[in-house]
Amino acid sequence: MNFELHNRRILVTGATSGIGLDIARSLAELGAELVLFGRNRDQLAELEQELEARTQAVDITDEAAVVAAFVEMPVLDGLVNCAGISILDDVLDIQANDLENIMATNVTASAVVAREAARHMIAHGRQGSIVNVSSQAAMAALPGHLGYCASKAAMDAMTRVLCLELGPKGIRVNSVNPTVTLTPMAERAWADPAKRDPMLAAIPLGRFATPREVALPVAFLLSPAASMISGACLPVDGGFTCH
């Protein structure tokens, strides 16, 4: 089985930080040619040098900007939809504007990027792969996560529809659904034992994921080794969602 990605060009959104940054680095190690979207121009410039990647500053919530970014896009073999936001509030405190912002980024923008990437692959005769970075929050209720849970559940539903419609075009579509992943931001957010310990107790493996442990399943789903896998929502959660 071939897990390598040589001669495959992959677009990664949200590539300048967090899980997206580790995904980009892991894909580069496996030989992929990268196109990276992000909003931090300085970080994009650094990644352009580090990973020999093509980079573009794009606000994916701006549909016109996304469409424009694909005008001179090199031929793609894959997409990783990783850009996303999280706004956490208890149900009694949630604001409509927060819900709209979460859905606009995690669902609408991801759908627009997937649409443009699929159009691009089809126009160039490529049978590619799309991976949406979802969450265990799509599969289990989490306190304070109403908007986030709803957005990631919508992303999984989107994955299945994309699978159904794009499969006949030879494009596979899957999601990965990680648990808490220890990016620098998450390490700070989960440092309080009162918050951390109950979550760890609910994970059978007893620990959180590293970004690398999320990046490698993404790489697998992009690779020829996953050539018959489409429409899957893959938990990368140490068993959290087995309850």
Amino acid letter, residue 80:
V
Question: Checking phi first, is residue 222 left (phi over 0); if not, alpha (psi -120 to 50) or beta?
Answer: alpha
Amino acid letter, residue 24:
A
Count the Cβ atoms, other than its own, within 10 Å of residue 217. Answer: 20
Nearest-angstrom CA–CA distance, 26 and 212 = 7
- Give yes or no: 105 in active site: no
Q: Which residue(s) pair with 36 in the sheet?
A: 12, 55
Q: Which of 19, 84, 83, 20 is nearest to 53 (CA)?
A: 20
Q: Which of 42, 12, 46 is nearest to 28 (CA)?
A: 12
- Which of 148, 208, 220, 240 is catalytic? The answer is 148
Q: Which residues are catalytic?
A: 148
